[in-house]
Structure 1
Amino acid sequence: MLLYADHQFDRAAAAGDGNAKGDHLDTARQNPLYRAPEAPVVPQLPPELAYIWAWFTLLNQKRQCGMAVNALTSAEILAWQARHQVRFDPFEEGVIDRLDALFMHHQNKKEP
């Protein structure tokens, strides 16, 4: 699941012009002269973990932003659980925390 998330976060990262990298790739593929490099295997979302990915994307929409994107706080996660009447078990909490750490890594990554 983390490989899938890493791929999705990388596609969503802003390119130099502010647009998502994935949008640039999709547009380039529409050009008849475009020759795609040998595509790496795109990680797939494990179906048994899809519900956690869906929860994370919903949580991510409620993320606080100040001067930069902030990590999800425990209060935000607990409030989301209360609002949606969901209770994470320890495994799900761990996956959400790791997804958040990976998301923050992509947000703070400096591109050359």
Structure 2
Amino acid sequence: MPDLAGKGHHGAGKRVEFFETLTASLLRYAGHQFERGARAADGHAKGEHIDAARRHPLYRAPPEEAVPPMPFELAHVWEWFAQLNRKRQNGMAVNPIASTEILAWQARHAIAIEPFEHQLLDQLDALFLSHQHAAG
């Protein structure tokens, strides 16, 4: 397995900083997407309300926020999360994606997830859950 964080190698601090920056960027992007997708009291996504307000000629919509960029280096992790999220088990509330679900998904798609990527999936899931619980 490659040592993505560069532990024990010359320049390891720069590699760690690089991955921390990418992770922070992806989490900012995800947080923006989760906020737009959060349900308002009427059941529609908040982003739909904002977009509709911007199209209405008589309503002053809030200023348009800059969308945080998706770091292309981690776009595959975002896609994996989206696929896993669609298969999420729900009971009385939205549940975390179980490790067994991730393992089954890996086997089904013949993908080996690196530990760094698995941690990032867990961080995305925790961020998603925090947005879901805040909306509920």
The two structures have a TM-score, normalised by structure 2, of 0.77
Runs of 4+ in 1 over 6 A off after TM superposition: none
1:43 counterpart = 2:55: no
- Aligned pair partner of 1:23 in 27, 39, 48: 48
- Taking a change above 3 Å as real, the CA distance of residues 110 and 57 of structure 1, as seen in their structure-2 partners, is closer
- Is 1:87 the counterpart of 2:106 in the alignment? no
Higher relative contact order (CA 8 A, sep 6+): 1
Unaligned ranges ≥5, structure 1: none
Can you list the C-alpha shifts for 1:24-63, whole angstroms capped at 9, x where unaligned?
1111111112333333322111111111100000000110
Which residue among 122, 125, 136 is the counterpart of 1:97? 122
How many pairs are equivalent?
Answer: 111
Q: Give ranges in structure 2 of 5+ residues lacking alignment.
A: 1-25
Rg comparison, structure with higher value: 2
Going from structure 1 to structure 2, the CA distance change for 1:52 and 1:101 (only over 3 Å counts) comes to same
Q: CA deviation at 1:86?
A: 0.5
Counterpart among 100, 106, 109 of residue 75 in structure 1:
100
CA distance in 1, matches of 2:127, 2:87: 17
